[in-house]
């Protein structure tokens, strides 16, 4: 954003439209999105915008942006660390089904055994 802003300011200077430092600081603060309004208010309250250098404003905004990004990364890592474990539930009906499955398996094995004995 700052590079685009600088390009625009330089282009305007070539057209003989010059802005002083305090005007540029105010323009940058005005163009920030609503999510940055608490930071804008803090800068306006804590610092004199008439004497605030553009580089200092840029440094303050970049620091705030990096802090926000670090918090977002930390939240994403916390979400990834949380694991969900699901257990299989069992009821009385499932034990009956399990015993039916076991009986079917035993029956099949017994039939195979008899078939081998008959032809063997």
Question: Please, what's the b/e burial string for 37-49 (b: 16 or more CB within 10 A of its CB; e: otherwise)?
Answer: eebbeebeeeeee
Residue ranges covered by each domain of the chain:
1-74
pLDDT band at residue 120 under the 50/70/90 scheme:
low
Distance (Å, whole) CA 50 – CA 24: 10
Total-model pTM:
0.56
The 10s digit of each residue's pLDDT in 85-102 is: 667 766 655 566 677 888
Closest CA to 57 of 96, 28, 15: 28
* CA dist list (Å): 91 to 80, 98, 100: 33, 11, 15
């Amino acid at each position: 954003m700052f590079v685009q802003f600088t390009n625009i300011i330089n282009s305007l200077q070539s057209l003989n439209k010059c802005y002083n430092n305090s005007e540029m600081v105010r323009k940058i603060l005005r163009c920030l999105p609503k999510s940055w309004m608490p930071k804008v208010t803090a800068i306006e309250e804590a610092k004199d915008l008439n004497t605030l250098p553009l580089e200092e404003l840029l440094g303050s905004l970049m620091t705030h942006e990096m802090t926000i990004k670090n918090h977002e990364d930390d939240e994403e890592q916390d979400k990834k660390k949380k694991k969900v474990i699901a257990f299989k539930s069992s009821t009385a009906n499932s034990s009956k089904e399990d015993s039916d499955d076991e009986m079917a398996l035993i029956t099949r094995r017994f039939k195979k055994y008899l078939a081998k004995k008959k032809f063997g």
